[in-house]
Structure 1
Amino acid sequence: MGDSPLFMGILGVISGAILVAFLHCLFVTCRHNNTDEPATTSPPRPPEMNRRPRLRVDLDSSASSSSFPTTSTSTSSGSSILLTVHKYSKDFKEGTCAVCLGEFEENDEVRIMPECAHVFHVTCIDMWLFSHGNCPLCRANATPRAHDVLLSILNSRNIE
């Protein structure tokens, strides 16, 4: 029975299964030991992106001091998205940033998506737009329509 091909085949399959189980346990143990937080704490936060969005702020000297700069956020595909920074007030219909799930506070700097009017913290939406070209809630296009950009430029320069 020791030289039987059936016995050798079964022995090979069992040895392979034991090897795979051992490697799996080794992988799980090493992966668990590399975490910085103990397993009993709250779930770990997602890691910060290593790359930050490249921002170019266009400050217009003729604009009033109460207006905010329009910022061009470069996406990972190389395209730029122009969105204006606003101060949050209780007049906005949304009270929570859907990216970080944090509550908005009075005078927080926020961006409003052009097509859907969803509101997000500036840092949250800039990080999202670095790798996406749409709203994180409804997937509406984040690129403002051409006539909206033109109206925004005309309004900022008080041209009628």
Structure 2
Amino acid sequence: MIRNLHTDPHCYKTRKVWNSQARANGDKWRYELAAGQTVGGVFCWSPLDTSDLAGHVLFGHLLSGQQAVFDDLHVEYGTTIAKRDGWIAATIANNVSGSIMIRTVNGPFVLEKVGVYTPSDWDKIHDLYTAGILPYPWIDGEYLPLGGGYTSSGFHAHPHLDCEVCA
């Protein structure tokens, strides 16, 4: 079973910010620098903190009309392992202290989706994605829906894998 460990993967709740502000944007939130600030950020994976995030793969998907947001997209204290079309995946070391954020310096963005995955689950997701088996986006609720039909137990059988995933 591939599981997203974040409790609000669709980003319906506002996130903590530093030198930034959040404004409602439909059922999501738009983040940008606060007036008079030159650097700021969004703690995209809150309420989880570094002790919860360390050793996992952090996934974030943003929307923005500013290309500079994507050009400079990185996870604070993170090592980027994949990045494409407004999404990023990164890992952080176990000894990092403080909160992990994405900067708001280059323009406003809407935080669309987040994920926190074990490294082995991320490897499965990324392998399936690059093989063209798992279409993007991957996040849909607590568990990753890999396809197949809904059953009365709530599980979906994946048509290409020998596994079941909760949906």
Same-fold status (TM-score > 0.5) = no
Q: Which has the higher contact order (CA 8 A, sep 6+)?
A: 2
The alignment's TM-score, normalised by the length of structure 2, stands at 0.25
- Higher CA-based Rg: 1
Higher helix content, 1 or 2:
1
